[in-house]
Chain A
Amino acid sequence: MIEFHLDARSGVAPYRQLIHQVRHALRLGLLREGDQLPKVKDVVAGLAINPNTVLKAYRELEYEGLVAARPGIGTFVTGTLDGGSLAAHGPLRRDLARWLGRARRAGLDDESIEALFASTFRSASEEDIA
């Protein structure tokens, strides 16, 4: 069973944060098929958030085919995320580490690196859309 947490300062809508955490746990293998998600009532009592927020997150995950609700019992994981792509993580991480090294040697500080990555990421995804 995973436990949710909320970052109030992140600016990301709470239901998105919950979805994100489930997807994250699926990617890392912390949640597997058949595992139960925390009960709505428990999430609500633990985080002091609106039940509709949890329901909305679970509905969206269900729509994505990642979980299924069994009425009166709970919500269970039915899908997996990128099980196959885990193998690709290693080489990509090494590439990224090399790139980070070059950025540092070029004199970029952490903030500049983050800004450069974010803006490149944004323009790359915009090209994908266009």
Chain B
Amino acid sequence: MSAVIETGGLGKRYRRQWALTDCTLSVPAGHVVGLVGPNGAGKTTLLSLATGMLAPDAGTIEVLGGTPGAGPAQLARVGFLAQDAPVYPGLSVADHLKLGARLNPGWDAGLARGRAGRLDLDPGQKAGTLSGGQRAQLALTLAVAKRPELLILDEPVASLDPLARREFLADLMEAVAEQELSVVLSSHLVADLERVCDYLIVLAGSRVRVAGPVDELLAVHHLLSGPRRDPDTLPAGLEVISASHTDVQTTLLARTSGPIMDPAWMVSQVGLEDLVLAYMSQDAGRRRRDHHPHLEVRK
């Protein structure tokens, strides 16, 4: 299966500080991928490497099988919406669409006009006077109408109010349903991504902590609680992501593919938010050496 983003040992350094370290990913096509992590985790760095706006200091990255940003053909295949949906405040909505048509060889004018009409964007209005939600919708219209194979969005909803957020995501998902489009979007809030993403990458402290299809991640992680016990006595094959103990009780968020037989544990499902938070707070140094954070996709 073709990968939209394939990286091997990818790293990026700003002066002496590594913003992204040893990033190895293979993101399959046809997904809506959520890139989630706290501010400063390296999300924007990874997305900038994928669009070719930054060059790596270590490792490799391929996007849709090509080098990011290498020439007009590659640029036409990838749509990018930068943080805070930048538009030209002095240009009107119609000017933006005209600009999009001039700059993009694969421009779909019908789609752009249709979307602008449906979203009630007044063609004559200056982009600088649009509401935050409308500005984001205009920027998304430009990104979608260039008919990319991969659409990359950096924190697209961070600055929107809850209603505009929902409308934007609904609109994005409609575009995904209508066109064959792979999407990668970042957010520091899991709640934003929970409904729309079917593939998740958790980034924290410049490293990928876990990546894989959401359903599979939820299926192999469990919340276990039971009488207090020493973590060293846990069965093999049970990988502890986070653990907390009281004097009588032990609670674990653990990863295992097999069923949990020990009747001492009360087993419950893990929500996506708890799962992500457990990985984010996981101490990188204590992670098992042999553990490979990337979950293979089974077909």
Q: Tell me the A residues contacting B by CB distance below 8 Å.
A: 6, 8, 11, 13-15, 40-41, 44-53
Bound state CA distance, A47 and B167, in angstroms? 9
| Across the A-B interface, the 4 shortest Cβ-Cβ residue pairs | A48-B170, A51-B177, A48-B169, A44-B173
A53 and B170 form a contact (CB under 8 A)? no
Is the Cβ of B170 less than 8 Å from the Cβ of A47? yes
Q: Which of A13, A44, A46 contacts B215 (CB 8 A)?
A: A13
Which residues of A lie under 8 Å from residue B86 when comparing CB positions?
Answer: none
B269 interface contact, C-beta 8 A: yes
Interchain CB contact under 8 A, B194 and A8: yes
Distance, CA A19 to CA B76, complexed state (A): 38
Closest-by-CB residue of A relative to B31 is A52
Minimum CB–CB distance for B22 against chain A, Å: 29
The answer to whether B269 touches A48, judged by C-beta atoms less than 8 angstroms apart, is no
Would you call B174 and A44 a contact (CB within 8 A)? yes
Question: Is B195 interfacial (CB-CB < 8 Å)?
Answer: yes
Query: Which residues on the B side are within 8 Å of A49 (C-beta)?
Result: 173, 195-196
Interface residues of B (CB under 8 A from A): 30-32, 166-167, 169-171, 173-174, 176-178, 191, 194-198, 215, 218, 269, 271
User: By the criterion CB–CB under 8 Å, are B195 and A6 in contact?
Assistant: yes
The complex places the Cα of A53 from the Cα of B197 at a distance, in Å, of: 9
- Complex CA gap A8/B215 in Å reads 15
Q: Is the CB of B195 within 8 A of A41?
A: no
Knowing A40-B177, A41-B174, say if A48 contacts B196 (CB, 8 Å). yes
By beta carbon, the residue of chain A nearest B171 is A45
Q: Is the CB of B173 within 8 A of A50?
A: yes
Q: Which residues of B contact A40 (CB under 8 A)?
A: 177
By a CB distance below 8 angstroms, the chain A residues around B174 are 41, 44-45
A44 to B198, CA, bound (A): 13
Q: Specify which chain B residues have a CB less than 8 angstroms from the CB of A8 in the assembled complex.
A: 191, 194-195
The CA-CA distance from A47 to B171 in the complex, in Å, is: 10
CB of A40 to closest CB in B, whole Å: 6
Question: Are A47 and B195 in contact (CB-based, < 8 A)?
Answer: yes
